[in-house]
Amino acid sequence: MGGRRRPTMADVAREAGVAAKTVSRVLNGEGPVAAGTRERVLAVVGRLGYRPNLMARNMRVGAADATVGLVVPELGNPFFGAVAGGVERVVRARGLTLVLGCSSETAALEQALIATFLARRVSALMIVPSAAAEHRHLRAERAAGLPIVFLDRPAAGLTADCVVSANRQGARTGVAHLLAHGHRRVGFIGDRPAGLHPRRERFQGYRDALEEAGLPADRALVATGHDREAAAAAARRLLALPDPPTALFTGDDLATTGAVVALSGAGRRDVALVGFDDPPLAECLDPPLTAVAQDPAGMGVAAAELALSRLDGDRSRARRTVIPTRLVVRGSGELRPAPGAPRPAPS
Amino acid sequence: MGGRRRPTMADVAREAGVAAKTVSRVLNGEGPVAAGTRERVLAVVGRLGYRPNLMARNMRVGAADATVGLVVPELGNPFFGAVAGGVERVVRARGLTLVLGCSSETAALEQALIATFLARRVSALMIVPSAAAEHRHLRAERAAGLPIVFLDRPAAGLTADCVVSANRQGARTGVAHLLAHGHRRVGFIGDRPAGLHPRRERFQGYRDALEEAGLPADRALVATGHDREAAAAAARRLLALPDPPTALFTGDDLATTGAVVALSGAGRRDVALVGFDDPPLAECLDPPLTAVAQDPAGMGVAAAELALSRLDGDRSRARRTVIPTRLVVRGSGELRPAPGAPRPAPS
DNA sequence: TTGAAAGCGCTAACAT
DNA sequence: ATGTTAGCGCTTTCAA
């Protein structure tokens, strides 16, 4: 019990009465090996419980390690869990192993993780950058040929591949859905730091939709909440305005659930709601929630495929892949504006 | 551009006019180094963008790699995402790196992942075993001192550390809640393969509660669904029985959401429901969902801490850590039995 | 305070 | 069909 030295290839070789290289050949199915020798070697391998040391192999082969590094802000968040799942599937299918770290949305932790991964000589790097992070320091790595793909949010201070949701278009479609049902005052509630890429883009999409409809952008209808409770409070605040919105558009999952809590808590079945991210029980709500669904697993898959194509030698210029969103219409976006509000007939 | 050889310690040494060992000393803050030498070395390190190669270091040191391997069935599942997040936090705080793989609930993939991790010489192994898996082959590793912790489900064919939810107790409490509100016919809907540990334990807890209340176990009230739709269908089937249940207990998240869909779709606000796993929007449902909440992040943390204590030399016998569940009472468990059903006064 | 040599476990490049 | 030698990038051991 307890920590006997692991058998090495040399042990196997000695025991089998062959040279180490022969063991290597057997294990890697390389050059020609006599059937008898092969069997003898495999028998010893089994008996000794020998496991090849991948680190040693990689080092000798000189190649980068057969791993890709992924940094996400938080694994507990189902969105990033799904992203990581997508990455893992692709990476694994290619025979690579996923090395994973959580930055807790902290630039310092993110950088430490990246440093660790680089020291491990990962074959590729995929990063969901935290809000405050800076990536200038990765320029040399990129120049040296390391594939680096940013996920969900673009890099700061670095031109690099990037995979994002169709945030702006998705928000525009969601808000347009509300406008198409007669709403003229639509509130916006965002949660993630206002400077964050997805939040900015979604807000832009909100404004795009208003502008297309010839409606003014009223700053009083824009609110922010840093968590579910804050988002709920923001929703209540908006609804308490002298000239309140008749519909809400929420910019992310926390804001959406916050708004749902606020509306259901207040019994306000008359306020329409459309929001980013499609939570599992959306269709069980009353009214059923109309949502802009993202495809996090698809984002992970796309990012991993992009990284692998770089690994395969694709040297074309950095590109941004946009993963479409999908408006899932279930009813909460079709409520009528509160009585008294202007209500043009749909064209 | 594109793939210049990475600078090695020897490059730094040559450039700085010192021996490799001196560079090593500077970088590891080891033996005594003259201040001037240190600065010269660090300058070259910065100029060349040198990054120590962790693989080489680990190999020489002979120690296991500074990684722990984690196998989960599916990262897209928020439960396992949270588990992985808990593991990562602890592992990272210890300076180790998480290596992650998804088995897709497949024994073969799981075994392949484990083999890869062993080849990488991970310092510890944590596994959420898939239903059909067998772990006899890990005996030698365990005997050799490798910490191995099983998560959510115990190992098969191997005595090893294990961290699980209080499945039986949680289910018992949930069902007792229904019984305390006058229900006498409680249906059980389970989803995961019936042989799976959590499913079995939760079913046992269901029977425990019935037995404590002196109620018969009616096999007709037990159903299985393999996904959300199937679970919903199972719920509808139970409610269509000649002598239908007045309440449902669901054994996992898919069964729970399936039951919610079925009940809300049928407008059956008279059927009580309590289920395992507390979904994000539980409180927004109508009626608000009473749920048995697990603590997946806590499970990950506990498992990682257990593994690390083994790494630190704890040689005590294998232990099972049970992470408590929490009954979150919100109302769906307190509905009255349908009219006509016997309804004894609560004691 | 620094350096030289040996070697971790493996495989590429040559033998044989 | 198999064995030998050298060396991947680093650290240990011993010496200066």
Q: Chain D: nucleotides under 7 Å from a protein CB? A: 1-5, 7-13
3-state secondary structure of A254: helix
A53 inside domain: no
B153 inside domain: yes
- Contact (CB<8Å) A59/B58: no
Q: Please identify which residue in the block is written with the tokens 């991790």.
A: B117
A218 and A281 housed in the same domain: yes
Nearest Cα to Cα of residue B77 among B52, B96, B104: B104
- Contact (CB<8Å) A282/B281: yes
3-state secondary structure of A203: helix
A219 and A193 housed in the same domain: yes
Element (H, E) at A222: strand A222-224
B1 inside domain: no
pLDDT band at B54 (very low <50, low <70, confident <90, very high): confident
- Tell me the C-alpha to C-alpha distance, in Å, between residue B18 and each of A88, B13, B143: 43, 5, 44
Res A339: pLDDT:
54
Residue B25 has pLDDT above 50, yes or no: yes
- Please give the average per-residue pLDDT across B12-40, as a whole number: 88
B174 and B268 housed in the same domain: yes
Res B245: pLDDT:
97
| Mean pLDDT, all residues of chain B | 91
- Contact (CB<8Å) B264/A284: yes
Res A61: pLDDT:
78
A233 inside domain: yes
B185 and B285 housed in the same domain: yes
B301 and B188 housed in the same domain: no
Res B33: pLDDT:
86
Res B174: pLDDT:
98
C1' (C16) to CA (B144) span, angstroms = 39
Provide the shortest C-alpha distance from residue A213 to chain B (in Å). Answer: 32
- Contact (CB<8Å) B54/A143: no
Res A32: pLDDT:
84
pLDDT band at B30 (very low <50, low <70, confident <90, very high): confident
- Which residues bind near strand C, taking a CB cut-off of 7 Å? A 5-6, 8-10, 20-21, 24, 27-28, 30, 52-53, 56-57, 59-61; B 17-22, 25, 31-34, 36-37, 56, 59-60, 62
Q: What is the pLDDT along chain A (347 residues), one digit of tens a residue?
A: 445 678 899 899 999 999 898 999 998 888 788 888 999 999 999 888 888 888 888 888 777 788 999 999 999 999 999 999 999 999 999 999 999 999 999 999 999 999 999 999 999 999 999 988 999 999 988 988 899 999 999 999 999 999 999 999 999 999 999 999 999 999 999 977 767 899 999 999 999 999 999 999 999 999 998 889 999 999 999 999 999 999 999 999 999 999 999 999 898 999 999 999 999 899 989 899 999 999 999 999 999 999 999 999 999 999 999 999 999 999 999 977 655 444 444 43
Out of A49, A85, A99, the one facing B97 most closely (by C-beta) is A99
A176 and A246 housed in the same domain: yes
B183 and B285 housed in the same domain: yes
Res B4: pLDDT:
63
- Which residues bind near strand D, taking a CB cut-off of 7 Å? A 17-22, 25, 31-34, 36-38, 56, 59-60, 62; B 5-6, 8-10, 20-21, 24, 27-28, 30, 52-53, 56-57, 59-61
Res A2: pLDDT:
45
Out of A53, A264, A297, the one facing B76 most closely (by C-beta) is A297
* Whether the Cβ atoms of residue A202 and residue A152 lie closer than 8 Å to each other: no
- Tell me the C-alpha to C-alpha distance, in Å, between residue A336 and each of A94, A284, A339, B66: 51, 20, 8, 59
A173 and A155 housed in the same domain: no
Res B236: pLDDT:
97
- Give me B335's structure tokens: 């509905």
Beta bridge partners of B98: A100, B68
A96 and A210 housed in the same domain: no
Chain A CB contacts of B74 under 8 Å are 85
B3 inside domain: no
Residue B344 has pLDDT above 50, yes or no: no
pLDDT band at B338 (very low <50, low <70, confident <90, very high): low
Sort B343 into a burial class: Cβ within 10 Å, 0-12 / 13-18 / 19+: middle
A182 inside domain: yes
B76 and B27 housed in the same domain: no
B183 and B250 housed in the same domain: yes
A2 inside domain: no
Nearest Cα to Cα of residue B70 among B135, B116, B136: B116
CATH code (residue B200)? 3.40.50.2300
Residue B55 has pLDDT above 90, yes or no: no
Q: What is the pLDDT of residues A42-61, one digit of tens each?
A: 999 988 888 888 888 888 87
Nearest Cα to Cα of residue B68 among B305, B330, B332, B344: B305
Q: What is the pLDDT of residues B197-247, one digit of tens each?
A: 999 999 999 999 999 999 999 999 999 988 899 999 999 999 999 999 999
Res B342: pLDDT:
46
Q: Chain C: nucleotides under 7 Å from a protein CB? A: 1-5, 7-13
Residue B303 has pLDDT above 60, yes or no: yes
* Whether the Cβ atoms of residue B252 and residue B80 lie closer than 8 Å to each other: no
User: Considering the entire predicted model, what is its pTM?
Assistant: 0.91
A231 and A265 housed in the same domain: yes
Q: What is the pLDDT of residues B253-298, one digit of tens each?
A: 999 999 999 999 898 999 999 999 999 899 989 899 999 999 999 9
Domain count, chain B: 3
Identify the closest residue of chain B to A100 by CA–CA distance: B98
* Whether the Cβ atoms of residue B291 and residue B274 lie closer than 8 Å to each other: yes
A59 inside domain: no
Chain B CB contacts of A4 under 8 Å are 144-145
Question: Could you list the residue range(s) of the whole structural domain that residue B41 is in?
Answer: 9-48
Element (H, E) at A157: none
Considering only residues B161 and B15, tell me which one the structure prediction assigns the higher pLDDT.
B161
- Please give the average per-residue pLDDT across B112-132, as a whole number: 94
**Alpha-carbon distance B123 to B141, whole Å?**
11
pLDDT band at B1 (very low <50, low <70, confident <90, very high): very low
- Contact (CB<8Å) A89/B74: no
Nucleotide nearest to B13 (CA to C1'): C3
pLDDT band at B61 (very low <50, low <70, confident <90, very high): confident
